[in-house]
Structures are given as C-alpha cells and as structure tokens.
Chains A and B, each alone.
Chain A
Amino acid sequence: MTTEETTERHVRVVLVDDHRMFRTGVQAEIGATDRTGVEVVGEAADVDQAVTVITATRPEVVLLDVHLPGGGGVEVLRRCAPLMADPEHPVRFLALSVSDAAEDVIGVIRGGARGYVTKTITGTDLVDAVFRVKDGDAVFSPRLAGFVLDAFASTDAPPVDEDLDRLTQREREVLRLIARGYAYKEIAKQLFISVKTVESHVSAVLRKLQLSNRHELTRWATARRLV
C-alpha cells in the first residue's frame, strides 16, 4: 500500500496498553514523526492513567488496548465520552487488541471506538488506520467486518428501526470485500465507486453498529454467549 503522500501529515497519538514492550514496539514502528507523521504525545498503562493522560494531552487519536487493568478499554471509552463528543477537537479512539473475540470487538465499538484492528497489523497499515480515524473515518479489520456481517445477517425478526437495524445492499457488499481482505482503493475499483463513497459506507455501518439497540444484535451476542 502506498501511503506516500508527501503533503504535511501530522497526528498526535496516545498509546494505551498495559504491556510496556508492546508500547515500545508500536512507538518504534510508527512513532518516527518525520517519516510517518505520527507523534506519540503520551502513554498509559491502565484506565486511570489513560483518562488522566488523554485529558491532559488532548490527542487526536488514542490507540486503545481492549484488555486493561481497571475496567478495560470500554471503561476508558466511557469516561472519555465528553472528550469524544467535543465538536472542536474530538478525541478519537482506535481499538488495538491482541484479542479477536467477538465480545471484545463489539464491546469497544459499541463503546464509541472508531475502529478495531488486531495487533498483527503491519506498521504501515496501522499508520494508515490512525490517519483514517483522525479524519473521522471508520476502520474495519476483516474480522470486524465478518462479525458485523454475522450480527446483521438477515433474520425473520422484523427490525425495530429499519434505518439502523438493516445494512443496505451496498454496505453489505463493502463489508464483504473488507472481510475478504480488500483495501478501500481496491473496493472502490471493484464496485466502480470512489474511495470517498466507500468511506461513507463504512462510517454508516459503524454508526449503525454503535447506535442500534437492535434485539438482533443482542440475540447474536446471546447465541455466542457474550452477554
């Protein structure tokens, strides 16, 4: 993937992870500001620390681990909700976890995270994801796309809210291609739409996922013993 846009790109990032080694690794991989444009302005190892650091530094993007001492990533999201809603300088969260269990994924997304990637992601892809989140876009890993497709799979139960409880045909197609490992650019080419349109479809899916109080989602989670 070519992310070599030589225009000035800069993003302030806070790393939240209880494994110091992992923080160091991520820092080494993406923290070279002159090369990647990512400036790591703070680190935290647990929920309390994270809330303090995020409030103090007001980064644009937080890389958030899902499993954290003190309540986990969901708790950080809950306590940072006002910062996320700030219209001027919203803090956006990208969940970054070693776990790809459905409960963790859906949990942080419902908590307000703008995306979810697993820790096996490459450095360039991670930088890419960070900038995408910074621009207010959503980031779906193939697995997350799979979970969402699974959860929104058409069932006989009538939706409570048609707008929220159903994915449009186009959204399904986009998600399916993400699940198959396509990049946005490839999806755009495949569906003969612009990258911007792909982005708006993905954001719409994320919104539905975060807002819908669908009983289908609950049922899906129950069937997998996640609740």
Chain B
Amino acid sequence: MTTAPPSPTPPRADIPPRKLYRSAEGRMLGGVARGLAGHLGAPVSWVRIVFLALLLAQGMGAVLYAVFWFVVPLGVGGVEAPRPAPAETLPDGRRRLFARKPDRGQVVALLALVIGAAIFVDNLHLGRANAYIWPLLLVGAGVALVWRQADNARRAHWMEVSRRKRVLPLARGAAGVALAGIGVTGIVVLQGSAEHLGTVLQASLAVLVGIALLAGPSLVRMTQDLSAERTMRIRAQERAEVAAHVHDSVLHTLTLIQRNAEDPREVARLARAQERELRAWLYRPEGRGKDEAEEPTTLAEAVKATAAEVEDHHGVPIEVVVVGDCPLDERLAAQMQAAREAMVNAAKYGGEGGAVQVYAEVEGRTVFLSVRDRGPGFDLDAVPDDRMGVRESIIGRMQRNGGTARLRSVPGGGTEVELEMERAAA
C-alpha cells in the first residue's frame, strides 16, 4: 500500500516502521488508546469504543488497558494528526483559559467510561465479593494516579519542561497513596477483621522494618554504586576526549620535534604552536567549540589570532596581553593590519632579542596597541624611501583611517610601535 501513488494516505510512505508508544499528547488516562490508534492508523474513538466494549465483556478491556499501560513505554509518537487545539476556534481573550481545561471530548469519554464501569459493575454477580468492588476501584484509582505521575516525570525528563511547580506532583503522589490506602483499609474493614487492625498493622510494620533492615543497606549501596558509576563514566569520557586531543596534536608535534631536532628554530616554532593550541583548548571559555576557523569578531580575538599567525610563520614567540575588549569595526580592522605588519617586522628584525610583546587596551572609545621587540632597533630616518613596510603599511594606513602611529626605536634597545585608533561611532 505504500507503493500505490493514488493511495489516499501518501504522506505515510516514508515513515519508518512505527514502534508502539503510549501517547503523551491528548491522552485521557495512560495514553494507551491514542498510542494504539496511532500505531494502527485508526481513529482514537474507535479504539476507545473497542476498549469499552471489551470492558463490558467480563472486564477484559480494563485488564488489557492495564497491561498495555504497564508494558508500553510513553512516547511522543503514535498520534496521527494532532487534534486541533480547541482554543484556536475561540476569540483571543479566552484562548489560554480554555486551553487549560479538559476539552469536551475528554469529558464525554470520561463520562462514558464511568457509565460503562457502572454497567459493568452492575452486571457482575459476585455475591459477597461485590462489596469489594469499590475499595478495589479506589486502589486502582490510586495506583493509576501514581503511575501517571511516573509518566509525567519521564516526559518531563525528555522534554525538559519540568520547571513547573513541584507541589502538584507531590500532591498527586500523596493523593494516590491516600486512595490506595483507603481502598485497602476498606477491604480490611469489609473482611470484618477491623478489630484486628492494630495487630495487623503492627505485624505489617514489623515485616516492613525487617525488609528495610535486610534490603536497605544493599539498596543504598546500589544507588551509591550507580551514581559512582555514572560519575566514573563521565570522567572516563572526559579523559577520552583529552586523550584524543593530546594524541592528535601533542604526540604528533613531539614526533615532528624528534625529527627536526637539529633545527632549533623549527623545534621552537612547533613547541610554541602546540603550547598555544593546547592552552587555548584547556582554558577556552565554556560553550566554545573547537571551530577555530571562524573569523574573529572582537578585538581580543583578532589580536590573538594575528599574533598566533605571525608566530607560526616566523617562529618567534609573541606574548599577547589584552585589556578590555570590543567588537571589531572597519577602523579597528585597519589597525589590526598595521599591527600585523608591526608584528612581522618585530619578528623578522627583533626576534633575536627574545619574545615580542604585544599589548592591546580598550579604554572607552580609544584602542591602544603596542608591539615591542628587544632587537637591535633601527633608525627610521635611515630606512630608504623605497622600503614601504613601515611608512606605508603602518604609519600611512593608520593615518588614512584616522589613527596615529608612533615608532620608538633605541639602537640596541629594541623597537616599539604604538598604534592608537578611535573606534568608529556606533
């Protein structure tokens, strides 16, 4: 039937084989009927009628329903075409109010159920046992309440909507227990052993305490073991992630270092790159993934990324300190390019004197950036005019974008480039 194109139910063609779930949506009791309806592709009302009819047949329906409820897990699926929200047909003012009330169908169904149950009870001719029906029903209602509670808990678990009041579930649980208790008491009273109630209660209490004493410790240990096991598993997972990372990059780098042992520059470069990467990975802010290919959007990120690039390319360590942060704009991007040029120069000509120091600070609207090396230094006036690096790429670029660049160079005492830029008006 899935292959026939003119079939009246074409949208179902590519639905994977359904698993039977109790429906969490629009259910009345346990969601069995709805789930079944969805599973069989039949209208819900039919399934419910069948259940009712079976109920009249010696209570088969109830037993069947209970078995389904017990065995079949709760799920979201199983509902064909969710019924239109009743509030939609109403004027806006009453929408919310109405949506929270049980809808009419549910009420009718519930009534039908009660009537059916009454007829069923009436039909029973159990003689003396007849008296036990009501207590049993009470117990059943209590059990049903508590069971639905469990359903709700599970639903909340996988839908993560459990932020509602905590009182309601508690009250429901208590009501369920009370109902069941009343039912059981009713049975005891009916049995005519009410006068032995005290002794019976004592005896049962003794049994309960005994069981608790016997099984309690192992139960506690079991839950403890379970939670311990869970934390262990989480840790193991974490460790596996770290191991994977370390294996991937650090071991790899160490191998490369062993191969390039004669080339100290290359070794230093590899070690620095690895150190930086591992640092970024270890101390990355939470919620940031590994995707480092993304374009930096803030000044701090941009400075770090630029420094890392230059460092990798020239094998000179660059130490970056950033104070404050702000989003990148066009002017700052120009400043970043000037800074890159300065870093490249520092790495090329001043790298022998140790690490290059990069400092960036955002203060109000001003962004200050300094690049400093401890190399031999140079005399700007002695640089021939055809060397465009400093004049054009740094000073010229900053001026064109409305900033200033200052070069300070002490022969033998290193070079410092200071770049200052006002942020573009927001």
CB neighbours (8 Å) of A181 from chain B are 319, 355, 357, 359, 372
B90 close to chain A: CB less than 8 A? no
How many contacts between A and B, using CB within 8 angstroms?
Answer: 45
> Given that A142-B357, A146-B359, A149-B361 are contacting pairs, would A180 and B370 also be in contact in the complex, using a CB cutoff of 8 Å?
yes
B254 close to chain A: CB less than 8 A? no
B420 CB, nearest partner CB in chain A, Å = 13
Q: Mask for B373-389, Cβ within 8 A of A = 1, else 0? A: 00000000000000000
* Residue in A closest to B354 when the chains form the complex, CB atoms: A122
Q: Mask for A77-98, Cβ within 8 A of B = 1, else 0? A: 0000000000000000000000
* Residue in A closest to B418 when the chains form the complex, CB atoms: A180
> Given that A101-B283, A225-B285 are contacting pairs, would A146 and B323 also be in contact in the complex, using a CB cutoff of 8 Å?
yes
- B interface residues, tally (CB under 8 Å): 20
Which DSSP category, helix, strand, loop or mixed, fits chain B's interface? strand
Interface residues of B in 303-354 (CB under 8 A from A): 317, 319, 321-324, 354
Establish whether residues B286 and A180, one from each chain, have CB atoms under 8 Å apart when the complex forms: no
Which DSSP category, helix, strand, loop or mixed, fits chain A's interface? loop
Q: Mask for B253-292, Cβ within 8 A of A = 1, else 0? A: 0000000000000000000000000010011011000000
CB neighbours (8 Å) of B323 from chain A are 146, 149-150, 153, 179
CA separation between A176 and B323, bound complex, in Å? 9
Of the residues A122, A180, A224, contact of B359 by C-beta under 8 Å: A180
CA separation between A149 and B363, bound complex, in Å? 11
CA separation between A147 and B321, bound complex, in Å? 8
Of the residues B322, B354, B416, contact of A146 by C-beta under 8 Å: B322
> Given that A181-B357, A181-B359 are contacting pairs, would A145 and B283 also be in contact in the complex, using a CB cutoff of 8 Å?
no
A99 close to chain B: CB less than 8 A? yes
A134 close to chain B: CB less than 8 A? no
Establish whether residues B357 and A180, one from each chain, have CB atoms under 8 Å apart when the complex forms: yes
A116 CB, nearest partner CB in chain B, Å = 13
A143 close to chain B: CB less than 8 A? yes
CB neighbours (8 Å) of A122 from chain B are 354
CA separation between A225 and B284, bound complex, in Å? 11
Establish whether residues B286 and A225, one from each chain, have CB atoms under 8 Å apart when the complex forms: yes
Q: For A153, A181, A224, A225, which residue has the most chain B Cβ atoms within 10 angstroms? A: A181
A92 CB, nearest partner CB in chain B, Å = 25
> Given that A142-B319, A146-B321, A150-B324 are contacting pairs, would A179 and B359 also be in contact in the complex, using a CB cutoff of 8 Å?
yes
* Residue in A closest to B319 when the chains form the complex, CB atoms: A142
User: Which bracket fits the contact residues of A?
Assistant: 10 to 19
Of the residues A99, A101, A142, contact of B321 by C-beta under 8 Å: A142
CB neighbours (8 Å) of A153 from chain B are 323-324, 363
CB neighbours (8 Å) of B283 from chain A are 99-101
B358 CB, nearest partner CB in chain A, Å = 9
CA separation between A100 and B355, bound complex, in Å? 16
Establish whether residues B324 and A180, one from each chain, have CB atoms under 8 Å apart when the complex forms: no
A121 CB, nearest partner CB in chain B, Å = 10
CA separation between A226 and B323, bound complex, in Å? 17
A119 CB, nearest partner CB in chain B, Å = 10
Q: Mask for A132-176, Cβ within 8 A of B = 1, else 0? A: 000000000011011001100100000000000000000000001
Establish whether residues B372 and A180, one from each chain, have CB atoms under 8 Å apart when the complex forms: yes
CB neighbours (8 Å) of B324 from chain A are 150, 153
Interface residues of B in 214-264 (CB under 8 A from A): none
Establish whether residues B321 and A143, one from each chain, have CB atoms under 8 Å apart when the complex forms: yes
* Residue in B closest to A148 when the chains form the complex, CB atoms: B323
Of the residues B286, B319, B363, contact of A143 by C-beta under 8 Å: B319
A212 CB, nearest partner CB in chain B, Å = 18
> Given that A150-B323, A153-B324, A179-B321 are contacting pairs, would A142 and B359 also be in contact in the complex, using a CB cutoff of 8 Å?
yes
Interface residues of A in 183-223 (CB under 8 A from B): none
Interface residues of B in 125-163 (CB under 8 A from A): none
CB neighbours (8 Å) of A101 from chain B are 282-283
CB neighbours (8 Å) of B279 from chain A are 100
B285 CB, nearest partner CB in chain A, Å = 7
CB neighbours (8 Å) of A225 from chain B are 285-286
Interface residues of A in 116-134 (CB under 8 A from B): 120, 122
User: Could you give 28 example pairs across A and B, Cβ below 8 Å?
Assistant: A99-B283, A100-B283, A101-B282, A101-B283, A120-B317, A142-B319, A142-B321, A142-B357, A142-B359, A143-B319, A145-B321, A146-B321, A146-B323, A146-B359, A149-B361, A153-B363, A176-B359, A176-B361, A179-B321, A179-B323, A180-B321, A180-B359, A180-B370, A180-B416, A181-B319, A181-B357, A225-B285, A225-B286
Which residues in A have some Cβ–Cβ distance to B below 8 Å?
A: 99-101, 120, 122, 142-143, 145-146, 149-150, 153, 176, 179-181, 224-225
* Pairs of residues from A and B, 10 with the lowest C-beta to C-beta distance, nearest first: A181-B357, A146-B321, A180-B359, A149-B323, A101-B283, A179-B321, A150-B323, A142-B321, A179-B359, A180-B370
Which residues in B have some Cβ–Cβ distance to A below 8 Å?
A: 279, 282-283, 285-286, 317, 319, 321-324, 354-355, 357, 359, 361, 363, 370, 372, 416
